[in-house]
Amino acid sequence: MRIGIMLRTIDETGGIGIYARNIVEELLKIDDQNEYVLFYRTRKHFGRFAHFPNVVEQLVKLPTRALWDQVAIPLAARRERVDVLFHPKFTVPFFSKPKSVMVVHGADWFIPPYDRVYNRLDVRYIKTVMPLYFRKASFVISVSDYSTDGFVQAMPQFRDKIKTIYFAPNRLFRRVEDPAVLDRVRRKYGLPEHFVLTVIRYDPGRKKYRKNFGGMVKGFAHCRKKYDIPHEFVVVGKNCDRYAEEHDIASLGVKDAVKFTGLVEQEDLPAFYTLADLYLYPTVIEAFPIPITEAMACGCPIVTSYGTGLEELAAGAGVQVDPHNPEEIGEAIQRVVSSPELRAQLTACGLERSKLFDWERCARETLDVFRQVRNGDS
C-alpha cells in the first residue's frame, strides 16, 4: 500500500501540529511494509523523516490552503500513485481518486453554546462543508468520544464511518525523579517553592473565552484571599502575559503572585508538572486537551472542568468544577493543595490513566483504519 499524508498542519504549534508530527513518526516506526509519501506545504520540516527507507517527501506549493487541499494534493497524489490519502486535520480533497481518511479534532461549531465562540460566517461555512467532507472521506478518525458524539449528533448518517482513536503527549512527558534536573529548571525559570500551574495558549478576541484565564485567576485570587495559601500561580504559554492586560489582576490582589514565564522549552515542561502542587485547567471546551495528558503522565494532580473532552480525559485523575464559577474553582484549588492524601490519590490515578494515551497504540489503530479502507471494509 502506498499511503499519502497531507502535512500542511505539521508547522502548527498547537495540538494539531503535535498530532501531525507524532503520528507520522509513530507510523513509520511500526510499519516498514507500506510506502509513505509525505506532502509538505513549506520547507520547515522537509527532511524530518527522510531517514526512513520507505518514505518519499514532496514539497507541494500553492498560496492558499483551499487550493493546496483541493487542487495541488489531488494532482500530487495521482502523480505518486497513492492508494490511501490521510489528512490529520478536518479536510479531504473532493476530486481525488485515492480513498481518504481525515482526523477531526472537535465538533464545537455544531454544539451550542460553544458555537458562539466562532464567527457566525465561519460556523455557517463549517456546517455547510463538513457534511461534504464526511461524505467524501472513506473513514473519519476522531480524537475523543466527546468529538465523536458531537459529529454523530450533528450528522447521524455518518455514524458508521467515524471512530475515536486517542493520541498522546510527547514521550518526554513523564515524572522527573532527578533532583538536579528539578533544581535546574526551578532556578532557570525562577519557580516558587509552591505553585499552581497552567499551560495555555493565548487566544485573542472571542476565542479567549475558551481558555478561561479570567475564571482561573479569579478562582486563584478567591483561594489566596480566603485561605491565605502560600502558592503562586505560574502561567506558561507564548504571549500569555497579554491576559494580564485584559484582566485586572491588580484589583484581585494577586498581581505579585501570578508569574508569566512565556514559552517554555518543551524538554523543561515535565519538570514544571512534577514541581507543581496542582495543574489548573478549567477551560470551557476542549476535544482532546493535550496538557491534561501531559499532567497525568507527570503525576500532577488536576483541577479541570465538567464535560467536553476535559472530564473524559481526566476521569478519576482530576477534580471537576464549573468553569464559569470562580469560587468553585478556588475551593477546588484549596481542596487539592491542602490535602497530601488527595494529591497522592490523584497522582496515582493520573499515572495509571496516562497509560491509555499511547502513541504506538494510536499508530497501530490508525494503520488498521488504512488497511480497512484499502481493502474496502469501510
Q: What is the pLDDT of residue 316?
A: 86
What is the pLDDT of the chain when averaged over all its residues? 93
State the average pLDDT over residues 117-141.
Answer: 92
Q: Distance between CA atoms of 280 and 213, rounded to whole angstroms?
A: 10
In the structure grid, which three cell numbers stand for residue 377, read together? 471494509
The arrangement of strands across the sheet holding 84-87 comes to 55-59, 35-40, 2-6, 84-87, 99-104, 139-142, 162-164
Residue 276 has pLDDT above 70, yes or no: yes
CA-derived radius of gyration, the chain: 22
What is the rounded distance in angstroms from the CA atom of residue 103 to the CA atom of residue 162?
A: 9
How far separated are the first and last CA of the chain, in Å rounded? 16
Write the CB contacts of 20 (distance below 8 Å, at least 6 apart in sequence): 7, 9, 10, 12, 88, 89
**Beta pairing partners, 318:** 302
Instruction: For residue 275, give the nearest of 171, 350, 184 by alpha carbon.
Output: 184
Across the beta sheet with 278-281, what order do the strands follow? Answer: 258-262, 232-236, 195-199, 278-281, 302-305, 318-321
Mean pLDDT calculated for residue range 308-313? 92
- pLDDT(290) > 80: yes
Can you list the domains of the chain with their CATH numbers? 2-168+358-374 (3.40.50.2000), 179-356 (3.40.50.2000)
pLDDT band, residue 245 (cuts 50/70/90): confident
Between 123 and 330, residue with greater pLDDT? 330
Instruction: Please enumerate in sequence order all residues whose Cβ is within 8 A of that of 376, keeping only pairs 6 or more positions apart, or say none.
Output: none
Contact in structure between 54 and 19 (CB atoms under 8 Å): no
CA pair distance 231, 277, nearest whole angstrom: 9
Report d(CA 323, CA 57) in Å as an integer.
44
CB contact at 8 A, 218 and 226? no
Rounded Cα distance between 232 and 224, Å, is 9
| pLDDT for residue 302 | 97
Q: Are strands 99-104 and 139-142 parallel, antiparallel or unpaired?
A: parallel
Share of the chain above pLDDT 70, in %: 98
pLDDT tier at 14, thresholds 50, 70, 90: confident
